[in-house]
Structure 1
Amino acid sequence: METKTVLVTGGNAGIGYFVAEQLAARGATVVIGSRSAAKAEAALGSIRAQVPGARVRHVPLDLADLPSLKASADALELSRLDAVVHNAGVYLDGPQRRETAAGHELTFGTNHLGHFALTHWLAPLLAGGGRIVTTGSFTAKRAELDFDDLQNQNDYEPKRAYARSKLAQMLFGFELDRRLRAAGSSAISVVTHPGGALDSLTPSRPPVHVRKPGLSPAGLLLQGKDAGAWPAVHAVLEPGVEGGQLWGPRMLGMRGRPHLETARGRLADPEAAARVWAASVELTGVDPFA
């Protein structure tokens, strides 16, 4: 990876931080996309402490602000990007529905529409064989999109809005690869999910994360966010990874080493994926790799 450059959205915290740290440990130049310069600097300092000589830097990135995304892509100052890990996202726990400046429901607008539009602006950098890795969630497998209410105006509930946004992201990742293959592109799109990744099982990386002492029985079934990063890192690094694949943890999809999964149910619905794509073009005004 010593000649590779990877952008990790939301690489300042959570799973994204460990994706960035692990890629840096493999020699990649890692760019952390974050809207908070202070949090990004803390993450960069932690990575450098864990990985002496790490090549890491920050680029401002606010996925909820669609008009700013071209400037974020330009700020990379690159002629080629080897991979982007679409990891950043919001998970709201309050009952109040919130919107982006453009009027999109905040969870859907950030987690899905922001990454959809960012891919458009990164497309020229990724066209030469780059990898677009979309981090979904196992909660998406139980979600169902309402195409008459993608913005969750009629039945907003935070957990449901999050699951729907992740389903939209994963369908986008699969549809993107279908379109890349149809166009004869050498770029590939891969979808991953981290399984069950908890803060309480995650090793400390102060000041980014400090683990509280004590044992958690959840460790028998789930894992920390460091392990939750493995599927995305695998999708970036491994030469045998192919476009359109889904990677998650090996043990029941919840913990363990990366494992190739079969997309089933709603994740395997190309008609729904095409509808998500069309709606996303309409809502963002851009069309990735068009």
Structure 2
Amino acid sequence: MSSTPAAPPPWNVRRLPGAGDRVFLVTGGNAGIGYFVAEQLASTGATVVLGSRDPARAGAATGSIRARVPGARVRAVRLDLACLASLEAVPGALGALGVDRLDAVVLNAGVALDDPPRRETGDGHELMFGTNHLGHFALTRWLMPLLSAAPAARVVTTGSFAAKSERLDLDDLQSRHDYRPGRAYGRSKLAQMYFGVELERRLRAAGSTVAGVLVHPGGALDSLTPSRPPVHVRGAGARLGAAPAALFLQGKHAGAWPAVRAVLDPAVLGPAVPPASGLWEPRGFGLRGAPRRAPLWSHLADPAVAARLWEASRALTGVDVCARPGP
């Protein structure tokens, strides 16, 4: 008499499954949400590599994770998303750490500017679009051989709730006209999210073993984030002032939960629902709470916009993520 396999237990953000044999890279893993993604993944026994452009901050984050997670296997690699030419060297730097495959990369790092003037990367791209989107686009291309070397790797693209109300101007991706920092940030994250959706489509069409998963952290505030000195220190005043916001928003430790689930949960890649058909977000109005799968935002489901953005990104970076499996 055959038995029906037991259903997996409900996902618990505080009881993560072990991942001791796997290797994960988190861009921007030295601060903010990326730090907490790395800390939580390290608690599973996995090897976690922090991608950071600042070795000193990466060292502080590494020390903080090791202090909180005994025996944590955490390393760091220099990674500057604003310098496209430097990204080709990242796989070699990972190899020097003994990394011969990646089971997941979390594309998390980002720049957010609050005030004018408009700034550019060394490559001449608007700083937020160039870093948040183009940098991750190019990095994914160079990481693809390491991702393909794993049995079933995942590219987890971290978007933003700020992108929900934005629309891309495909004729002005670099915000050269009527530059507004908040809007430029939202559009840069929207471009990154289009990339995550289109990447998954192209990987499936190519029969790749690598999958793309899209997430966003909801409303994650520093004032609601637990202290992790010296990476983040929250004072008593910030705690008290943030109390009303806690009804609707959350800290960056909770903002990490959708990405962590996207990396670890087998159900994320279940055959019934393709990853490109939805995104992972906080349960409460997309702003706070445990992660859940939600329908893809309607404007993100437009394949024509995604395809045009992909071609523009390919031209601006000089690389094509899905062009070929190796360097």
After TM superposition, the score normalised by the length of structure 1 is: 0.99
State the match for 2:49 in structure 1: 31
1:254 is aligned to 2:275: no
**Worse overlay, 242-251 or 58-67:** 242-251
User: What is the distance in 2 between the residues matched to 1:186 and 1:86?
Assistant: 18
State the match for 1:205 in structure 2: 228
Amino acid at match of 2:268: V
1:102-152, CA deviations, whole angstroms, 9 ceiling, x for partnerless residues? 100000000000000000000011124210000000111111111111000
1:45-92, CA deviations, whole angstroms, 9 ceiling, x for partnerless residues? 100011011000110000000000011222000321100000000001
State the match for 2:101 in structure 1: 80
1:269 is aligned to 2:302: yes
**Cα pair 2:51 2:78 within 8 Å, conserved:** yes
1:177 is aligned to 2:200: yes
Counterpart of 2:157 in 1: which secondary structure? strand
User: What is the distance in 1 between the residues matched to 2:37 and 2:111?
Assistant: 17
State the match for 1:10 in structure 2: 28
Q: CA RMSD in A?
A: 0.8
Query: What are the residue-to-residue correspondences of 1:1-290 with 2, within 5 Å?
Result: 1-77=19-95, 78-127=99-148, 128=150, 129-213=152-236, 214-215=239-240, 216=242, 217-242=244-269, 243-244=275-276, 245-290=278-323
**Worse overlay, 94-103 or 239-248:** 239-248
1:214-244, CA deviations, whole angstroms, 9 ceiling, x for partnerless residues? 3221000000000000000000000111232
* Identity level (%): 67
**Worse overlay, 116-125 or 128-137:** 128-137
Where in structure 2 are there 5+ consecutive unaligned residues? 1-18, 270-274
User: What is the distance in 1 between the residues matched to 2:220 and 2:297?
Assistant: 22
* Displacement of 1:289: 2.3
Where in structure 1 are there 5+ consecutive unaligned residues? none
After TM superposition, the score normalised by the length of structure 2 is: 0.88
User: What is the distance in 2 between the residues matched to 1:261 and 1:271?
Assistant: 22
